[in-house]
Amino acid sequence: MQTRFLGRSGLEVSVLGFGAMTFGDGQGSFATMGGTHGEDARHQVDMCLDAGVTLFDTADVYSEGLSEEILGEALGTRRKYVVLATKAFGRMGRNAHDMGLSRRHLIEACEASLKRLGTDWIDLYQIHNWDGRVPIEETMRALDDLVTAGKVRYVGCSNYGGWHLMKALAAADKMHQARFIGQQIQYSLMAREAEDELLPCGIDQGVGALIWSPLAQGFLTGKFRKERSEPTRLEQGGGIRAYQTPRGEAVLAAMDTIVAARSGVTHGQVAINWLLRRTGVSSVLIGARGAAQLAENLAAQQWQLSDAEMELLDRASQTRPRYPYSHHRIYGGERNETPFPYYARR
């Protein structure tokens, strides 16, 4: 499997990474995500390793820490051969310092993740959200101390806004501390908001993008068509219904055309393949409820969409740019297209 450097760093990651949000016991707030554990979890990890996946991502809040435990056990002695990533921010207890990005919580959260993962170090430690109550300088100092202590190799963020990302990078640069090399963001044919700020900022600042929800909660598998008479459990949750619009139908129609023209290709593979060709993307995180679904997703990197197919998907999924990006594209597109391809048009 192809690998890419994560941002402007020396850390190489596979173009497809495994997201372990589905690892758990099938209970609690993450029950709807999945309940993979035991031999099933080990089998999925084996499949990923056999396919060349080197990046494995989880978070402390996934199934209240159980995802980390299951992933650590499934990797076992093979942990040293992979890039292990986890995240911190969410509430892990009832006390005041059991969530957020304070120095106290981050250090305690890191120690707890290390124990659950059964490892001495975390390759990529990511901030899971923005914390408006804690000075960013305190957060970046705590992360830098974890790097200096050898408990963390690199740091990143997730679900930041453009100004959050730039503020954190500026604080780290000012204090000569470890800066983010990756940002884990939502991005897909149905969710292209990251093209406004996050991807251009990442390209400019050397922060690689790790993509979550590449299949738009399953909508881009083509299994949740609007014409279905009975809504599925996922549709009843409301997330997928937000995509069942004329634009969503146009995207699926474009994917139908590609799938019909290529033997053995699925809608999900098309969606993942599109992301692999987007500028600034380092790795796409895939997850699965079962081995068959995982095998299908892993096969997405074995072929490549043509330029004509990329253009077809781009046109079907394009949205109207928001101000001030609309001005950048209309009145300054020729000045921005080369360094920031997303500014040309969408």
Residue 72 per-residue DSSP state: H
Distance in Å from the first CA to the final CA of the chain: 30
| Residue count of the chain | 346
Q: What angle do CA 9, 306, 267 make, to 5 degrees?
A: 90
Sequence-separated (6 or more) residues with CB below 8 Å from residue 316: 189, 247, 250, 251, 253, 254
Residue 222: count other Cβ atoms within 10 Å of its Cβ: 18
Q: How far is CA 160 from the centre of its chain?
A: 12
Sequence-separated (6 or more) residues with CB below 8 Å from residue 141: 103, 175, 177
Query: Which residue(s) pair with 105 in the sheet?
Result: none
Whether 187 is a known active-site residue: answer no
Residue 321 per-residue DSSP state: P
Catalytically annotated residue among 62, 243, 342, 343 = 62
Catalytic positions: 62
